[in-house]
């Protein structure tokens, strides 16, 4: 006989994979949106930074570069973790390759947006970030 607590746990277990798929789809959609609009170009964000902070141009460019590269690290690290969860923890390498593919696709799509330029450096940064986040998962799993 299935008790109510077991039934609840079984239902939660069934919903869990869908949760990670939905989170991955939302995250990938957000990356696509951020990539697709000219408002998110580096030139535009520098202007916003200058208006908000009052920084001079060189300092605003530096702050913009730090913010944008930090965003790459966090976004692609998060995506790597989501890929890892979606594939049900089978392989960090598969999760890393999926993230690398998405980073490459993202940069390719940028080539079609006026004011945006694709960058191989961003793909390298994204793949390194994904690898570091995935290594973090391996490290914390071994500690348990």
How far is residue 7's CA from residue 93's CA, in Å, rounded to a whole number?
Answer: 34
DSSP string, 8-49: HHHHHHHHHHHHHHHHHHHHHHHHHHHHH-GGGSHHHHHHHH
Give the residue numbers spanning the domain of 135: 12-143
Indicate the burial class of 41 (C-beta count within 10 angstroms; 0-12, 13-18, 19 or more).
middle
pTM score of the predicted model:
0.82
pLDDT tens by residue, the chain, 144 residues = 556 666 666 655 655 778 889 999 999 999 998 888 777 788 888 999 999 999 999 999 999 999 999 999 999 999 999 999 888 767 889 999 999 999 999 999 988 888 888 899 999 999 999 999 999 988 887 776
Residue 19 covered by a domain: yes
Residue 138 domain-assigned (yes or no): yes
Q: How far apart are CA 60 and CA 43, in angstroms?
A: 10
The number of domains in the chain is 1
């Amino acid at each position: 006989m299935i008790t109510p607590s077991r039934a609840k746990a079984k239902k939660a277990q069934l919903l869990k994979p869908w949760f990670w798929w939905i989170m991955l789809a939302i995250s990938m959609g957000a990356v696509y949106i951020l990539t697709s609009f000219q408002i998110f170009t580096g030139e535009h964000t520098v202007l916003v930074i200058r208006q908000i902070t009052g920084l001079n141009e060189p300092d605003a460019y530096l702050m913009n570069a730090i913010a944008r590269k930090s965003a790459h690290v966090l976004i692609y690290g998060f995506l790597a973790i989501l890929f890892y969860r979606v594939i049900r923890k089978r392989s960090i390498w598969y999760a890393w390759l999926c993230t690398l593919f998405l980073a490459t696709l993202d940069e390719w799509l940028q080539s079609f947006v006026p004011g945006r330029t694709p960058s191989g450096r961003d793909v390298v940064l994204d793949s390194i970030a994904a690898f570091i986040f995935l290594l973090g998962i391996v490290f914390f799993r071994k500690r348990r």
